[in-house]
Amino acid sequence: MSDLFLPDGLTRTDGTLYVESVPLTQVAQQFDTPCYVYSAAAIRNAYREFVEAFAGLDPLICYAVKANGNLSILRLLSQLGSGFDIVSGGELSRVLVAGGDAGKVVFSGVGKSAAEMAQALQAGVHCFNVESAAELHRLSQVASRLGLRAPVSLRVNPDVDAGTHPYIATGLKESKFGVAYADAFALYEEAARLPGLDVTGIDCHIGSQITDLAPFIAALEKTLDLARRLRTSGIPLRHLDLGGGVGIRYRDETPIVLADYARAIAERLQGSGLRLLLEPGRRIIGNAGLLLTRVEYLKTSSDHRFAIVDAAMNDLIRPSLYEAWHEIIPVIERPEASAPLDVVGPVCETGDILARGRHLSVSAGDLLAILSAGAYGASMGSNYNARPRPPEILVDGHTAHLIRRRESVEDLYRNEWPLA
């Protein structure tokens, strides 16, 4: 067993787990379980870590909204100066409602609709990260129709192996994302001729939860090389966007040191005249949130032991979807148990497993904290099994703010009616 790692914002005082100055027992009492709990200080610290590490490069940091798009979290980041990476018109609306600056928004994604393009053009986004020839043409048409020019970057697929889970690797040749490296140059020439477009940048995003610097450097060198060739051919770019994907510690991973990443980029970007853009999601919010849950039942089947908790795969799908590992610890400290158990939810799926083989000593009624659940937790939540989604709480110092209320069952069928 690796020694326990407590993410920023979490402490254990007199045996009780706290988020900043608020005990999780109090959060459970006030808001019930399951619920998501975030630390505002941890979010600020993670964002500032980027700002400080990259200070010499003056990058535009575009937080990836899909990691966690809660309005209060977007507002907090926007107040710190963050831009945003969006993948839908819905995410753009969230950013704008939260007070985000459209001029600091990059729009990624393989399937942008004409309506989403028009929405983003009218809002005045910083750049469209375009992923195919067909999308370039549609974007040029939509922009021309509106009498506007769309700032574009091509998402180039550098064909590097990020060494991450196949479902979150996006930079390989066979991936649906980006344009093939070999095709990119010709596509840039085409983009430069289209009337509704203003070619401004180049981008890539090679995957997620990457803990090795090498694939980032390989991707940077390939995109930079292309940018230089484009400049020579009369298509000068203004920015280079290296995407997100910087991994975090869930268990015993050794995350990339941001200062090392910044140094590797600075050395190569120097003199290129290109402004750096980054799209971190998980690295900013992943370790700033946890899912608080209560044990409903203990159960033994033949000799397999289960703790059945009130959170489930609909609240946090990462373990089911990616076999992701989340640390789970009791809110009130207990000695470690000798026999392992699986932590499972009430959803009617064998795959509804939050963790396997944990040495947790638990009783029915105990509170558990599922750590590092701030990214791709609440944002991937669903209502499967007619389960209302949990509330979200943002702790800031001594205060626990409710930032999303628990859904009601009526919310779930608000848009339905039994046919007469």
Using CB under 6 A, list all residues that contact ligand PLP: 64, 66-67, 85, 108, 205, 208, 243-246, 279-283, 375
Nearer to ligand PLP, 159 or 279 (CB): 279
Nearer to ligand PLP, 68 or 119 (CB): 68
Q: How far is the CB of 278 from ligand PLP (least distance, A)?
A: 9
Nearer to ligand PLP, 283 or 404 (CB): 283
Please, are residues 201 and 127 in contact by the beta-carbon 8 Å criterion?
Answer: yes
Residues annotated catalytic, as ranges: 348
Nearer to ligand PLP, 203 or 396 (CB): 203
Q: How far is the CB of 374 from ligand PLP (least distance, A)?
A: 11
Q: How far is the CB of 157 from ligand PLP (least distance, A)?
A: 12
Three-state SS letters, the chain:
CCCCCCCCCEEEECCEEEECCEEHHHHHHHHCCCEEEEEHHHHHHHHHHHHHHCHHHCCEEEEEHHHCCCHHHHHHHHHCCCEEEECCHHHHHHHHHCCCCHHHEEECCCCCCHHHHHHHHHHCCCEEEECCHHHHHHHHHHHHHCCCCEEEEEEEECCCCCCCCHHHECCCCCCCCCEEHHHHHHHHHHHHHCCCEEEEEEECCCECCECCHHHHHHHHHHHHHHHHHHHHCCCCCCEEECCCCECCCCCCCCCCCHHHHHHHHHHHHCCCCCEEEECCCHHHHHHHEEEEEEEEEEEEECCEEEEEECCCCCCCCHHHHHCCCCCEEECECCCCCCCCEEEECCCCCCCCEEEEEECCCCCCCCEEEECCCCCCCHHHCCCHHHCCCCCEEEEECCEEEEEECCCCHHHHCCCCCCCC
Rg from Cα positions in the chain: 23
Nearer to ligand PLP, 171 or 330 (CB): 171
Please, are residues 362 and 334 in contact by the beta-carbon 8 Å criterion?
Answer: yes
Q: How far is the CB of 129 from ligand PLP (least distance, A)?
A: 7
Q: How far is the CB of 411 from ligand PLP (least distance, A)?
A: 27
- CA-based angle 209:267:175, to the nearest 5? 35
Strands 304-309 and 239-241, sheet pairing: unpaired
Nearer to ligand PLP, 205 or 404 (CB): 205
Nearer to ligand PLP, 48 or 304 (CB): 48
Q: How far is the CB of 272 from ligand PLP (least distance, A)?
A: 21
Nearer to ligand PLP, 69 or 319 (CB): 69
Q: How far is the CB of 209 from ligand PLP (least distance, A)?
A: 6
Q: How far is the CB of 394 from ligand PLP (least distance, A)?
A: 19
Q: Cβ neighbours of residue 198 under 8 Å, at least 6 residues apart?
A: 149, 150, 151, 152
